Structure 1
């Protein structure tokens, strides 16, 4: 898919996120909106996958380690054809295939159940190691939140991935610099984040996480490295909705119908 169509797809996904969360009455808009371009690029340009054959052995894998931001993933899966878009209106409802965190047992296209921060990244490293041992050509993509990297488990996995030279692993850091309790730097600072990942033996790039050209270029360059790749994507929490942008209080609060109306208007005109 070309850049123009990726931008259209991203706008659609932002609209769906707002509609889903408003209908559900709960969820996480800030971080869901900040990672839209990353997940859109992965599903509609970068990753090799077959929505009509979710378990195709040759597929690339994507793991949303920051599982609370699953509305972005669910919208992408639905628009890709893994399930009908009508399911999006059932987010977080009893009996829905779309729960508040990704569940591999109920949702087509979900590779790993996530939600407990740090664990999805570890599973991604294991998947990459398995693919390397079996000499499969697939790639593993994983998205972490910046607050998530305060988990010690993340750094155990990072060290292991570098040790095993998992060049088939590409990780994104959704670096919107905010978490549920406030600014990341005020809670447990993660800087110098680039130097830390490099010290752990990763190939590291920094990009604008809302720029499709930069996202795609970084992923292409990662394919030529024999090291695992970390793409630090500088993003804006709540991107696309002015009253949510850069506000930690929109980490885990669904918009009211009135707020949703304003948000949808801004997204449409953005």
Structure 2
């Protein structure tokens, strides 16, 4: 099953995409949030009305996660281009949930920014609370679905002005485009073998695969659950591969650019950039 949300901010309608058709889940469902995911979502679209979503805004596919937890430096080639050694344990930082926008919404270049960067990332959404998990198998069982994310970053804020942590360069408004769908695990054959890519103005920047992660999805969830408790509906971003502007190979984003990120089986985002 694929879940999405349509409509203007604050007025989104939950929708299921099944076998190429869209179904309105509003009414008894509420929204695609932690409560809905903890109930197991929907197993069938029987009884839900089919709808046409042409012309509708595609909203973020999940509603108001309590937390956006991010893993840094999780691809060896990205570590190399960043001038960093691969970490011995997952590196963690946080983004504010209010950074989430839809897959086609405007992305704002922050005031004073000269170094706004893109990062295609595999997002994981939780189906239930996850704390002190006993195994990586239990970690995988806690997953509601997967989603494409662009973990936008302002590198000066993140590095030179960080004060010792990443979040200052990660939490600017609109810095987490998400979508278009939340895809349930049964639709993904192997989450550790998905092609990932990004483009700016139609030109390829990143072209890699999730198999190049230093720490797998299961390893990250199991490890992090020893230090924090995830709630149903929370979002975990699992790192980005090589090919970002920080490498020095590409210019940073400017207002007027269009940035795209995509993952095999999960769809893609395509966001115009504007000046904040």
TM-score range, shorter chain: under 0.3
More helix by share: 1
Return the TM-score normalized by structure 1: 0.25
Return the TM-score normalized by structure 2: 0.25
